[in-house]
Amino acid sequence: MGSRTARTSALLGSTFLAAVTFSGSLSAQELRLITWGGYAPDDVVAQFEEETGIDVKVTLSNNEDMISKLRATGGAGFDLAQPSQDRIVGVQRQFNIYKPIDFSRINTDQLQPSMVKATQDSTGLDGKYYGVPSVWGTSGLIVHSSVADTVTDYTDLCDPAVAGKVSYRLKRPTLIGFAFAMGMDPFAAYNDRDEYESILAKVEDKLIDCKSNVKTYWTGGDQLLALLRTGEVTAAMAWDAGGWKLNAENPEIRFVAPDSGALGWIDTFAIPRRSENEDAAYQWINFVMQPEIAARITNASGNFTASKGADEFVRTELRDAYRASFSDQAINNIKWYPPVPPGLETLEGQVLDRVQAAN
């Protein structure tokens, strides 16, 4: 009786061990990636799978959905995520869904140093960093060549020379951009509520004074592109990819990095706390940040990456438009969005409502 029980236990134990080993070897061959559209093109995934033997399972998402999914599982279900750099620290502090990045496993020689620093500054918590820069973009100015000498910064949208031919959104990037163009640093005031309110008050007055210049406050990308295509608007505050798209259609329209600095966002690589295949996550990061591979992501998404030198391999018209917009100095002058402290967005919303209602 005892001998039979022992043999049965041993058999069950060896079967369980074999199952665990087999399951482990399977999971070691799969990377579960939650990311944005265009960031994992089919051809890039296929090449990675061929070179590494690792299957990639891609889930398309956005910031809110990533946070929701990882929060619900305590950081499980995915091996690599791509949240924006300003959506990590607050979430990590509250929900603990990511693990620190081991930068010794990242080939930082492939990356733009200013973007590595900006991402570390934005994702640092308790002496550890939770993000690696991946894809980035900016807000700045889209201008027609006829007004390019006049409109070189956000506040130039208020110049009488472009009256009635201007458009921008009543959203927080406009508040931030105008503040920088007025010689203030709103990001430095994020942790000083009184100082931030003082900055917002000055920007509010400027935007109200500027209302007569505004053709319309755009609310959707297609709407803005149509206004610029028809010439109803000759100067706008908008995103770089939209400007480059228009430039491909009409070389007289281009995206300009403002004198006070374009406003930049960075989507990162972040490793969920309960990732089951961290090795594959680091392999993917280093693989897709190779310049020639990163260029294919740019061609698919329309946004550039943190990969150094990748613009050499981007399709010609997009590369040329990018280089016309961003010198090295303009890149280094980008104002990267830091995490927003609680309560500030409410203040900003109140200011924007007052600007909208003003006569």
Per-residue pLDDT tens digits of the chain, which is 359 residues long? 333 223 233 333 333 333 333 333 344 589 999 999 999 999 999 999 999 999 999 999 999 899 999 999 999 999 999 999 999 999 999 999 999 999 999 999 999 998 999 999 999 999 999 999 999 999 999 999 999 999 999 999 999 999 999 999 999 999 999 999 999 999 999 999 999 999 999 999 999 999 999 999 999 889 999 999 999 999 999 999 999 999 999 999 999 999 999 999 999 999 999 999 999 999 999 999 999 999 999 999 989 999 999 999 999 999 999 999 999 899 889 999 988 888 888 999 999 999 999 98
pLDDT score recorded for residue 1: 34
Same domain for 164 and 72 = no
Predicted TM-score (pTM) of the model is 0.81
Give yes or no: residues 125 and 143 share one domain.
no
Which ranges in 215-315 belong to alpha helices (H)?
221-230, 240-249, 278-288, 291-301
pLDDT at position 345: 85
Q: What is the pLDDT of residues 261-296, one digit of tens each?
A: 999 999 999 999 999 999 999 999 999 999 999 999
Instruction: Based on the fold, state whether residues 225 and 113 are members of the same structural domain.
Output: no
Let me know: does 297 contact 39? Beta carbons within 8 Å. Answer: yes
Q: Does one domain contain both 63 and 110?
A: yes
Q: 176 and 236: one domain?
A: yes
Same domain, 93 and 123: yes
pLDDT of residue 355: 97
**Tally of domains within the chain:** 2
Pair of tokens at residue 131: 């993000």
Say which CATH number the domain at 284 has.
Answer: 3.40.190.10
Q: Say how far apart CA 240 and CA 188 lie, in whole Å.
A: 24
> Which residues, in sequence order, are bridge partners of residue 138?
264
- CA-CA-CA-CA torsion for 115, 116, 118, 124, nearest 10 degrees? 160
Length of the chain in terms of residues written: 359
Per-residue pLDDT reduced to its tens digit, 81-126: 999 999 999 999 999 999 999 999 999 999 999 899 999 999 999 9
pLDDT of residue 22: 33
Residues 169 and 85 in one domain: no
Cα angle 275-294-336, degrees, rounded to a multiple of 5: 80
Exposure string of 106-118, with b = 16+ CB inside 10 Å and e = fewer, is bebebbbebbbeb
Would you say 253 and 228 are in contact if contact means Cβ atoms under 8 Å apart?
yes
Pair 132, 276 in one domain? yes
User: Please, are residues 77 and 70 in contact by the beta-carbon 8 Å criterion?
Assistant: yes
The H-or-E segment that residue 74 falls in is none
Same domain, 306 and 347: no
Tokens 């004074």 belong to 209
Q: Which domain holds residue 352?
A: 138-263+338-357
pLDDT > 90 in the chain, percent: 86
Question: What's the pLDDT score for residue 342?
Answer: 82
**238 and 155 part of one domain:** yes
Q: Are residues 100 and 39 in the same domain?
A: yes
For residue 324, which amino acid is it? A
Residues 116 and 148 in one domain: no
